[in-house]
Amino acid sequence: MRELEFQGINSIGIVVIISIFVGAVITIQTDYNIESPLLPRYLIGVGVRDMLLLEFSSTMVALILAGKVGSSIASELGTMRITEQIDALEIMGVNSASFLILPKIISTMFFFPLLTILSLIVGMSGGYAVALISDVSSPQEYVYGLQYVFYPHYFTYALKKMIVFAFIITTISAYHGYYAEGSSLEVGKSSTRAVVHSSIVILMFNLILTKLILR
C-alpha cells in the first residue's frame, strides 16, 4: 500500500494537470490544422482521442513518470545504499533487492495503466472544455468525434505499452539507485542517470511495441 501511495497515488496530480492542458492544446491545434471547410468538425474529437490514446496517455505520461517516479525510486534506494540501510537489511538476512524493489515493480505495473486511463479521461475533458468556451468545435460535435469509429484495440495497445513502460521505469531506476556508491552527490547522479536511461529505453520500446502491436 505504501508503494502504491508513493509511486501511484502521489502521481495523480501531475498526470491530471498535464493531461488537461495537453488535451486542450491538442484540440486547438487540430482545429488550427483543419483548414478545409469540407472536413467535418467532429474530426477534432477523433484527432484528440487518437492522439491521447496512441501516444500521449501512454508514452508521454510514461516519460513524465520516468522523471517523477524514476528519480524518486533511484534517490530513495541510493540514499538507503549510501546510508547503509541496505547493508542493515542484508545483515538481518533480508534479500534486500527483492524486499525493496519487487513491491515497487508490482505497484507501478498495477497503477500506471490506471494513470493512463485517467490521463485519457482528463485529456478528453480538457478538449471538451475548450470546445465549450471557444468556437473550435461545438461540444456535441466534439463528443461525436470522440465516439466516432472507435477501435478498442487502441485502448488495449495504450495499456499494454504502459505496463511495459512501468516495468522499464521501475527496474532501471531501481538498478541505478541500488548500485549507487559514494556520497550524496552520487545519489543525485544516479537519479539523473535513471531518468535519462529510462526515457531512452521507453522511446526505443515505444517504437518496438508500436511495430509489434499496431500491425
Partner 1 sequence: MLDDISISFEKGKTNLIIGKSGSGKTVLLKSIVGLHEVDEGTILFDDRDFTGMNFKQKKQVRKEFGMLFQGAALFDSFTVEENVRYPLDMFTDMSHEEKMERTNFCLHRVDMDKSNHFFPAELSGGMRKRVGIARAIALNPRYLFCDEPNSGLDPQTAIRIDKLIKEITAEFDITTIVNTHDMNSVMEIGDKVVFIYEGIKCWEGTRDDILSAENQYLNDFVFATNLAKTVKLIQNKKHNQGAG
Q: Which residues bind partner 1 (CB under 8 A)?
A: 2, 79-80, 83-85, 87-88, 90-95
3-state secondary structure (DSSP) of residue 70:
helix
* Residue among 94 and 214 whose Cβ is closer to partner 1: 94
Instruction: Find the shortest distance in angstroms from Cβ 85 to partner 1.
Output: 5
Instruction: Find the shortest distance in angstroms from Cβ 89 to partner 1.
Output: 8
* Residue among 83 and 134 whose Cβ is closer to partner 1: 83
Residues sharing a CB contact under 8 Å with residue 118, sequence separation 6 or more, in sequence order: 12, 15, 16, 19
For residue 161, the one-letter residue type is: K
* Residue among 6 and 112 whose Cβ is closer to partner 1: 6
Instruction: Find the shortest distance in angstroms from Cβ 115 to partner 1.
Output: 23
* Residue among 91 and 208 whose Cβ is closer to partner 1: 91
Which residue has 484540440 as its cell numbers? 27
Instruction: Mark 187-212 as b/e (b = at least 16 C-beta within 10 Å).
Output: bebbbebbbebbbebbeebbeebeee
Query: How many CA within 13 A on the CB side of residue 117?
Result: 10
Instruction: Find the shortest distance in angstroms from Cβ 95 to partner 1.
Output: 8
